[in-house]
């Protein structure tokens, strides 16, 4: 079965550079989530999209932006990168209303490891 | 973590033993889920328990939920070396829309 695809798998950038992370959700999933996980930390919610509209926003810095496109893939754009942005960035997808009792489970990609030097 | 804590932070056991991990949270929830993460990899959903449920089983997994204490436990029975991973609880808070909020995770090591 197709899973959530993230690219690139690894990314190395210099401070103040920009980065674009891509996420391809499971086919027919309509909701995409972005999470950031620092070393030894729990995943922190950044932002989510439902049917191409932003549905929820968490602790996403103003330097970051994201969108979901007509084919449901999503991109996380990160500008003016800082050392502290080094982390594993996960994308997850779900199909609204299909979980147990309507509660959804998320399917995660393998993540993009971003290293800012 | 914005939501709560997991206990213990690290657990090391022998194959065949049971492993119990605990999770506490702070707000009212719709459901609580447990995820597993192998080192540097994506999270894999294990089990979901709704706020009106107290216990749920799935294979070697047993999850309990005590909403009065805002806590949950995950029991893995007859552990295997392949169970070595980090385990996170995640809550779907009633006031936060569709996001999941993760706990700090327990690193489980099962020694062969």
Chain A closest-CA separation from residue B78 CA (Å): 26
Percent of chain B's residues with pLDDT above 90: 71
Average pLDDT, stretch A67-83? 96
For residue A105, the model assigns a pLDDT of 80
User: Residue B85: which H helix or E strand, with range?
Assistant: strand B85-93
For residue A43, the model assigns a pLDDT of 93
Segment B5-31, tens digit of pLDDT: 677 889 999 999 999 999 999 888 888
Chain A closest-CA separation from residue B42 CA (Å): 4
For residue A101, the model assigns a pLDDT of 46
Structure tokens at A75: 């991109």
For residue B97, the model assigns a pLDDT of 61
Question: Binning pLDDT at 50, 70 and 90, where does residue A2 land?
Answer: confident
Chain B environment of A53 (Cβ under 8 Å) = none
For residue B27, the model assigns a pLDDT of 87
pLDDT at B1 over 70: no
Q: How does the average pLDDT of chain A come out, rounded?
A: 91
For residue B41, the model assigns a pLDDT of 85
Domains of chain A: 5-116 (2.60.40.10)
Size of interface A-B (CB pairs under 8 A): 69
Nearest Cα to B33, choosing from A100, A35, A33, A6? A100
Question: Binning pLDDT at 50, 70 and 90, where does residue B94 land?
Answer: low
Q: How far apart are CA B108 and CA B12, in angstroms?
A: 6
CB atoms within 10 A of CB A2: 11
CB spacing of B88 vs A43 below 8 angstroms: yes
pLDDT at A32 over 80: yes
Percent of chain A's residues with pLDDT above 90: 75
pLDDT at A110 over 60: yes
Is residue A86 within 8 A of residue A78, CB to CB? The reply is no
Chain A environment of B101 (Cβ under 8 Å) = 45
pLDDT at A56 over 50: yes
- CB-CB: which of A42, A55, A56 is closest to B1? A42
Is residue B79 within 8 A of residue B110, CB to CB? The reply is yes
Q: Which of the residue ranges A65-69, A102-106, B97-101 has the most confident prediction, judged by mean pLDDT? A: A65-69
The structural architecture, per CATH, of the domain B6-111 is Sandwich (2.60)
Quick one: A24 exposed, middle or buried, by C-beta within 10 A (0-12, 13-18, 19+)?
buried
Residues linked to residue A93 through DSSP beta bridges, in sequence order: A32, A107
Q: B4 CB near a chain A CB, below 8 Å?
A: no
CB spacing of B98 vs A111 below 8 angstroms: no
Question: Binning pLDDT at 50, 70 and 90, where does residue B63 land?
Answer: very high
pLDDT at B92 over 90: no
For residue B2, the model assigns a pLDDT of 40
pLDDT at A89 over 60: yes
Q: B41 CB near a chain A CB, below 8 Å?
A: yes
């Amino acid at each position: 079965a197709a899973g959530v695809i993230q690219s690139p798998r690894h990314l190395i950038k210099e401070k103040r550079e920009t980065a674009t992370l891509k996420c391809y959700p499971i086919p027919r999933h309509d909701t995409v989530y972005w999470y950031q996980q620092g070393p030894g930390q729990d995943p922190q919610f950044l932002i989510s999209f439902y049917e191409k509209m932003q549905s929820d926003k968490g602790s996403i810095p103003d330097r970051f932006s994201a969108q979901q496109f007509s084919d449901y893939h999503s991109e996380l754009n990160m500008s003016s990168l800082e050392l502290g942005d080094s982390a594993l960035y996960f994308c997850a997808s779900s199909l609204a209303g299909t979980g147990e009792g309507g509660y959804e489970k998320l399917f995660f990609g393998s993540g993009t490891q971003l290293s800012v030097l | 973590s914005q939501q709560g804590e997991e206990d213990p932070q690290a657990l090391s056991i022998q194959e065949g033993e049971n492993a119990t991990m605990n999770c506490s949270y702070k707000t009212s929830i719709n459901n609580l889920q447990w995820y597993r993460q192998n080192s540097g990899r994506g999270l894999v959903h294990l089990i979901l328990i709704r706020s009106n449920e107290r216990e749920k089983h799935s294979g070697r997994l047993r999850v309990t939920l005590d909403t009065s204490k805002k806590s949950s436990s995950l029991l893995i029975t007859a552990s295997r070396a392949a169970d070595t991973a980090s385990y996170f609880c995640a809550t779907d808070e009633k006031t936060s829309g569709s996001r999941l909020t993760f706990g700090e995770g327990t690193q489980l090591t099962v020694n062969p």
